[in-house]
Amino acid sequence: MKDRNPEVSQRCLIAFTIFLATAFASPFTSLLPIYLSGFDWSIVQMSLISGIVSFALNIARAAAWGLILHAIFSQFPAAAKNPDSLG
């Protein structure tokens, strides 16, 4: 599918990058209890599992928001020419 407006694609890419950056940062925030606990193995395991799950969910969220934003913003040029195209 050819993009109608490269500026819209750039905005979607920036939004997707922001969400992706937060997804990569989230596992590191779950490692804080490891340092506070003095490396207790049970807390290390829980923190790592929590970080991995959080990372996977944030990647899915980032992809979903990227697709949603692209779908929304790609409709604006069409809506300007044909207002009935939005439903």
Predicted confidence (pLDDT) per residue in 51-75, tens digit? 788 778 878 887 787 777 777 777 7
pLDDT tens string 9-49: 777 777 777 777 776 776 666 666 666 767 777 777 777 78
Dist CA 76 CA 84 (whole Å): 12
Question: Taking a C-beta distance cutoff of 8 angstroms, is the pair 7, 15 a contact?
Answer: no
Tokens of 34: 């490891």
What type of residue sits at position 15? Answer: A
pTM metric for this prediction: 0.47
Question: Taking a C-beta distance cutoff of 8 angstroms, is the pair 66, 16 a contact?
Answer: yes
Length of the chain counted residue by residue = 87
Question: Taking a C-beta distance cutoff of 8 angstroms, is the pair 62, 19 a contact?
Answer: yes
